[in-house]
Amino acid sequence: MKAAVLYKANEPLQVVDVQQEGPRAGEARVKVKAAGICHSDWHIMNGDWPLPLPMVLGHEAAGIVDEVGAGVTNVKPGDHIIFSFRPHCGRCLYCSIGRTILCDGHSSPRWGLLDGSFRMRRNGEDLRQMARIGTFAESVVCPAEMLVPIRKDMPWPQAALMGCCVPTGVGAVMSCAKVEAGASMLVVGCGGVGLNVVQGGRLVGAEKIIAADLLDNKLAYAKEFGATHTLNASRENVVEEVRKLTGGRGVDYAFDAIGGEATTLQILDAVRPGGTAVIVGMAAMSVRAPITPYMMALQEKCIKGTMYGSVRPNIDFPRLVNLYMDGRLKIDELVSRTYPLDEINEGFEYLTSGQVARGVVVFN
Ligand SMILES: [Zn+2]
Ligand SMILES: [Zn+2]
């Protein structure tokens, strides 16, 4: 079977033949049907997140269960699934209180199986799997608890995006910030995640959805996804324009869908006193941002982070699928380009130049 392996940061992925061992107890093998190309993969490729290599990248995907190991009861061969890139032990504090994204029930490194071993090998060398899944591969063996079964009429590229950018963006609005109908919000960054923050705002009935980006083509996408106002941050001062659009006060909620020093400070400046700024995008590990504690206290501002949109995959993935099938979530429009696995490096070129909402690798 073929997989796209990162051997060294700042080098292209190598699409190569690898050996795969079948699922052991508690594991399943999935035939991957589609896998989205996300900035988090890029963070590993460019060295922003220095992780041990070689590693099969990819974490936003959907496929068909092929085989299950002993004791697996949540999925069976033939099930259509979306991969969750976070485990769900079901027993830890976080799983017990419904905050499953924060599950800390497993202590093994996050790029192998739960017992710390590996299922993929090439030339005698173990290959790690990003987020324990590594979905830029024709087939994935992973913990069965990371698979969420969905209805079978959901199309594959759209299902793949339910594994990262859709729940991250929509969940940031619905599950993390809990934006109420009639509220105003700012979204900084209109890539795969930011567009889903925008449509999350539309879904909950936000009154003003202001989208900011450096590229006009991204702002055109944002309009399609429900933005009521757009700002080109290369020409306009986002914070000043947001104030003008909100009677001088600032927005109720602001979301940073990029992740960086400048954008973190921008969302804090753009929210009104008592408002909430949410960090959604994943920054490089070394980024720091100087906030002003005096202003935080004086204006009772709140800043919080959200991982994976703070969703509960087992509950929220099937719900989001239903919303898409009912025509209430736009996902077709997100899938701007598809590629065979062999052309995955081209997919990353399109991602980094901002030419696509989302590129998706499709498998036969
Ligand atoms: Zn992602
Ligand atoms: Zn847990």
311 contacts 292 by C-beta, under 8 angstroms = no
The reported pLDDT for the residue numbered 89 is: 96
The reported pLDDT for the residue numbered 357 is: 81
Look up 106 and say whether it is catalytic: no
d(CA 317, CA 311): 8
| Low-confidence residues in the chain, pLDDT < 70 | none
Provide φ and ψ at 358, rounded to 5°. -155, 135
Count CA atoms within 13 Å of residue 351 on its CB side: 24
Look up 310 and say whether it is catalytic: no
Look up 190 and say whether it is catalytic: no
The reported pLDDT for the residue numbered 364 is: 86
The reported pLDDT for the residue numbered 82 is: 98
The reported pLDDT for the residue numbered 109 is: 95
What is the pLDDT of the chain when averaged over all its residues?
96
In the three-class reduction of DSSP (H, G, I as helix; E, B as strand; rest coil), residue 65 is classed as strand
| Alpha helix (H) residue ranges in the chain | 39-45, 93-96, 156-161, 165-171, 192-204, 216-224, 238-245, 261-270, 293-298, 313-325, 344-352
Look up 40 and say whether it is catalytic: yes
Closest ligand to residue 37's CA: 1
If you measure from the C-alpha of residue 86 to the centroid of ligand 2, how many angstroms do you get, rounded to a whole number? 10
Q: How far is CA 39 from CA 7, 100, 242, 315, 354, in A?
A: 18, 23, 27, 25, 11
pTM for the model: 0.94
If you measure from the C-alpha of residue 248 to the centroid of ligand 2, how many angstroms do you get, rounded to a whole number? 44
According to DSSP, residue 332 is labeled G
Rg of the chain over all Cα atoms, to the nearest angstrom: 20
According to DSSP, residue 283 is labeled P
The reported pLDDT for the residue numbered 354 is: 81
According to DSSP, residue 74 is labeled S
Residue count of the chain: 364
Look up 80 and say whether it is catalytic: no
The reported pLDDT for the residue numbered 284 is: 86
